[in-house]
Amino acid sequence: MKKKAPNLLEEKRKAERVNAFDVAIIGAGYAGLSAALLLGRYLVPTVIFDGGKARNSMTRRVHGYLGFENVSPKALLRKASKDVLKYKKSVTTIKSRVSSAKKHRRYFVISTGGRTFRAKYLIIATGIEDVKPRINNFQKFDGHGAWHCPYCDGHEATGKRLALIVSGQSPLSYAKEFLGWTQDITMFLHDDCRLEEKERKQAEALGIHAVSDSITEITGSRGRLAKRLACTSGRHYNADVIFYQLGYRVQSQLTEQLGCQLDEGYVKVDAEQQTTVAGVYAAGDMDTDRHYVVLAAAAGARAAISIYERLLKEAIKAKMQGHKSP
């Protein structure tokens, strides 16, 4: 039987006697798993680090992802992990949180506390962490009647009494996002959040009721059913659906360790998802203010394709140089 010939990338690795992964992916959410799936299919030795729960793990349904409408996040990530495991000859999964990453000569060194790994390229997909309201009983409703993303879950407010918990700048812009679903909107201005006079007049014209009061407790039913909101003033309000925008933290510690530049708090990337540091890519919510499952998955795929093309280009160049040698 004829011996199976190695592919060009494998041939290059054998020639270099490389004892490292070609790619390390930090973060096993939608972006990270999407990248791992393609790299597995490209036969690229890859390690992916799974350090914990995805951002939307508490919610019941994923929306706007063609073919997976209304699937639960847990089910979708479980399916994605199984898909990646089909290529386990190329992809290794490590159930650990990465503590540090740094460049050493030709490779990146990734540490998980007790172990270290080396890779030529890095894809960082650690996402963001939402700031949650400090309200009694909020955890009961989070993802089951209270959401943060209008793009993902705004449809839940259709024809319902909507309460918005907002802070920071431009709260009215957030409120306007929901006018396509409902006009019964009460906006609670938390943490010294204020509307400018122009914004207040605009809110009144649009029928958005702005309340300078903080919600202290939520009672009632989960889902899109009646809820009662108690406030610091002693007043009570009724709502069916709650959305909140109190900000979020981009989990960019590792990219900052590596010297990657930020852009308005997000990790700066180019059209191929590469950061300002050569060989380091970022994908998912951490590089954009458009936080959507399908966009995160697309960014992970884009990073994987970009790296594969670079690896193949390097291998072709090495092959041609070897062919020219006397």
What is the per-residue pLDDT for 53? 72
Does some domain include residue 143? Answer: yes
- pLDDT mean across residues, the chain: 90
What is the per-residue pLDDT for 44? 96
What is the per-residue pLDDT for 205? 95
Question: Could you tell me if 124 and 281 are in contact, meaning their C-beta atoms sit under 8 angstroms apart?
Answer: yes
Six-digit token string for 230 = 């108690």
What is the per-residue pLDDT for 54? 66
Cα(215)–Cα(145) distance, integer angstroms: 15
What is the per-residue pLDDT for 86? 96
Q: Are residues 139 and 51 in the same domain?
A: no
Q: Are residues 89 and 176 in the same domain?
A: no
What is the per-residue pLDDT for 324? 63
Q: Are residues 221 and 320 in the same domain?
A: no
What is the per-residue pLDDT for 110? 95
Identity of the amino acid at 59: T
The position carrying tokens 């939608």 is: 30
Does some domain include residue 3? Answer: no
pLDDT category at 64 given cuts 50, 70, 90 is confident
Lowest-pLDDT range of 11-25, 37-51, 137-151: 11-25
Which of 26, 24, 27, 34 is closest to 293 using CA atoms? 34
Strands 215-220 and 227-231: antiparallel
What is the per-residue pLDDT for 21? 95
Q: Are residues 115 and 21 in the same domain?
A: yes
The residue among 245, 262, 280 that closes a domain is: 245
What is the per-residue pLDDT for 66? 83
What is the per-residue pLDDT for 138? 94
Q: Are residues 82 and 66 in the same domain?
A: yes
pLDDT category at 5 given cuts 50, 70, 90 is low
Q: How many domains does the chain have?
A: 2
Q: Are residues 104 and 26 in the same domain?
A: yes
Does some domain include residue 142? Answer: yes
Does some domain include residue 235? Answer: yes
What is the per-residue pLDDT for 3? 62
Q: Are residues 110 and 252 in the same domain?
A: yes
Q: Are residues 96 and 152 in the same domain?
A: no
Give the best-scoring range by mean pLDDT among 60-69, 105-114, 180-189: 180-189
pLDDT category at 288 given cuts 50, 70, 90 is confident
Lowest-pLDDT range of 60-64, 181-185, 198-202: 60-64
Q: What is the mean pLDDT of residues 139-148?
A: 92
Burial of 190 from C-beta contacts in 10 A (0-12 / 13-18 / 19+): buried
For the chain, give the percent of residues with pLDDT over 70: 95
What is the per-residue pLDDT for 56? 61
Does some domain include residue 61? Answer: yes
The residue among 208, 223, 245 that closes a domain is: 245
More confident residue, 122 or 250: 122
Does some domain include residue 188? Answer: yes
> What is the distance of C-alpha 16 from the center of its chain?
35
Q: Are residues 230 and 140 in the same domain?
A: yes
Lowest-pLDDT range of 51-65, 134-148, 252-266, 307-321: 51-65
What is the per-residue pLDDT for 83? 96
Six-digit token string for 74 = 């847990």
Q: Are residues 122 and 258 in the same domain?
A: yes
Does some domain include residue 87? Answer: yes
What is the per-residue pLDDT for 1? 54
User: Residue 26 pLDDT more than 70?
Assistant: yes
User: Residue 51 pLDDT more than 60?
Assistant: yes
Q: Residue 25: beta bridge partners? A: 48, 123
What is the per-residue pLDDT for 325? 53
DSSP class per residue in 88-121? TTTEEEE-S---EEEEETTEEEEE-SS-EEEEEE
Model confidence pLDDT, tens digit, residues 291-313: 888 999 999 999 999 999 999 99
User: Residue 7 pLDDT more than 80?
Assistant: yes
The residue among 187, 216, 245 that closes a domain is: 245
Cα(257)–Cα(166) distance, integer angstroms: 32
Which of 23, 22, 27, 24 is closest to 284 using CA atoms? 27
CATH of the domain at 89: 3.50.50.60
Alpha carbon distances (Å) from 163 to 25, 73, 135, 243, 311: 38, 25, 14, 6, 50
Q: Are residues 212 and 193 in the same domain?
A: yes
Q: Are residues 110 and 41 in the same domain?
A: yes
Give the domain range for residue 174: 132-245
Question: Could you tell me if 245 and 167 are in contact, meaning their C-beta atoms sit under 8 angstroms apart?
Answer: yes
CB-hemisphere CA count at 13 Å for 214? 13
Q: What is the mean pLDDT of residues 75-88?
A: 93
Does some domain include residue 2? Answer: no
